[in-house]
Every structure is written in structure tokens, then in C-alpha cells.
């Protein structure tokens, strides 16, 4: 399944694009020039989509403890 572009946000240093994948949204940052550095976009996509796939394909079972570190990682992006 391919991610769908939802919105674009621009500031001085980055362009952030919000995508939707399997009903969940995530952001990918693109630098606006050589003055800043960030993780390559294809890696950001891969990492976020893997998190979403894992969350959807392996939901926590009733009574199974929630991995809060994983939740915080998804929130922080």
C-alpha cells in the first residue's frame, strides 16, 4: 500500500509533509537547503510505515501489557 499525501507545512528550514498510510498519519521532513541535515525521506517513510504495520498487524491482546516506549517513539516520530 502506498502512502497518500495529506498536507504540506513550510518554514525557514524544513518542509514537512503529512502522509496517511493504512488509516494512520505520519510526517516526513525535507530540508529546504544545505544548511540543515535530517534523515533521508525514504528512511523516514520506511520507519514510520513499519511502525504502523506492526501496530495494525500485531495489536496488543486484551490484558497484554502495553509497551509505553514504543508508544512514545511513535508520538515523537
Could you tell me whether strands 24-31 and 4-10 are parallel, antiparallel, or unpaired per DSSP bridges? unpaired
Cα–Cα distance for residue pair 33/35, rounded to 1 Å: 6
Tens-place pLDDT, residues 30-43 = 999 888 889 999 99
* pTM of the predicted protein model: 0.72
Contacts of 7 (CB under 8 A, 6+ apart): 17, 18
pLDDT at 77: 67
pLDDT at 74: 81
pLDDT at 12: 92
Amino acid at each position: 500500500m502506498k502512502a497518500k499525501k495529506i498536507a504540506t507545512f513550510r518554514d525557514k528550514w524544513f518542509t514537512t509533509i503529512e502522509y496517511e498510510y493504512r488509516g494512520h498519519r505520519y510526517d516526513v521532513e525535507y530540508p529546504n537547503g544545505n544548511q540543515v541535515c535530517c534523515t533521508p525521506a525514504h528512511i523516514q517513510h520506511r520507519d514510520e510505515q513499519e511502525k504502523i504495520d506492526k501496530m495494525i498487524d500485531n495489536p496488543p491482546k486484551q490484558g497484554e501489557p502495553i509497551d509505553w516506549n514504543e508508544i512514545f517513539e511513535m508520538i515523537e516520530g
